[in-house]
Amino acid sequence: MAGSDAPVSSGAAELESPPQRLPEWIRVRPPHGTDYRTVRDTVAGLGLGTVCQEARCPNLAECWSAGTATIMLLGTDCTRRCGFCAVTTHWPNGVVDRSEPERVAEGIARWGLRYAVLTQVCRDDLPDGGASVMAETVSAIRQKSPTTLVELLIGDLNGRDSDLATVLASRPDVLAHNLETVRALSDRVRDRRAAYDRSLAVLASAKRLGRPGLVTKSSIMLGLGERADELAEAFQDLREAKVDLLTLGQYLRPTPRHLPVAEYVRPEGFEVLRDRALAAGFSGVESGPLVRSSYHAEELYRAARAGAP
């Protein structure tokens, strides 16, 4: 893999005019069942934000129909503008809803979740990047649902170890932070305040500052023009940061204002990459066209724990 300039799916060059229609292997499931309605009504009734809605996740119907959702903390407006992300960009001027931790904990208790996934919008307007609110939310969940496992997907907190330590003090079971893309594309794909090496440093610091046994996780999007050797480098960089779990999914352009898709990676390409990531040393890997960072999160976590020494 190292040194290859070929895209990972078929070896074809980047598409100059990406197709407007999705390939036949990308199909979104329709909603069904009472669990979907329960999640929908709880989200609406408690005024919760979800990354499922805000980021236009293609797995919303599947996950909500299974009784799960990924809760978005610190509101639904992000202070950063990444070229791939559908979440609204806005500067909230330090406004924080202090009732959010309790409402999130109540929602999770109502669902009776074994495993809860929380994420955040970036809040560069807050002195601690929202670390205290995230910690309060995990603590509230611990009080209302003491047996629930908690996965927390954070931003880079501007690289501040003190704020990361605040988050880790609430003892999440999984601390996730997404690398998003390979080094060569990072400046184009992500907001100018994000940085490839800072993301790696956040993940490495989580292992250093967190409790023993903390599981760390990251995610990479495919189809933005990355090369196979660049992906191999990213896998190695993440493993050097002692990241345990990895998800790989297809980038889907949310609107014409966002970055174009360079390539739709075929399912067999994702299978190859899963095997390469496992060979690089990750404890668990989810890889597929519709995989997102929180997809099958509980199964991936349990796979990592099963393989722990």
**pTM of this structure:** 0.83
Give me the number of domains the chain comprises: 1
Based on the number of CB atoms within 10 Å of its own CB, is 11 exposed (0-12), middle (13-18) or buried (19 or more)?
exposed
Q: Considering the domain boundaries, does residue 27 fall inside one?
A: no
Q: Considering the domain boundaries, does residue 241 fall inside one?
A: yes
Distance of CA 99 to CAs 36, 49, 96, 140, 284, Å?
Answer: 25, 13, 9, 11, 35
Q: Considering the domain boundaries, does residue 90 fall inside one?
A: yes
The domain in which residue 142 lies consists of 33-306
Q: Which residue did the predictor score with more confidence, 67 or 111?
A: 111
Q: Considering the domain boundaries, does residue 52 fall inside one?
A: yes
Q: Kindly tell me if the per-residue pLDDT of 58 is higher than 70.
A: no
Q: Considering the domain boundaries, does residue 161 fall inside one?
A: yes
Q: Considering the domain boundaries, does residue 19 fall inside one?
A: no
Q: Considering the domain boundaries, does residue 67 fall inside one?
A: yes
* 231-255 per-residue burial string, b: 16 or more CB within 10 A, e: under 16: bbbbbebbeebebbbbbbbbbbbee
Helix (H, G, I), strand (E, B) or coil at 224: coil
pLDDT digit string, tens, across residues 123-182: 999 999 999 999 999 999 999 999 999 999 999 999 999 999 999 999 999 999 999 999
Q: Considering the domain boundaries, does residue 21 fall inside one?
A: no
pLDDT digit string, tens, across residues 259-307: 999 999 999 999 999 999 999 999 999 999 989 888 788 889 988 787 6
CATH number at residue 215: 3.20.20.70
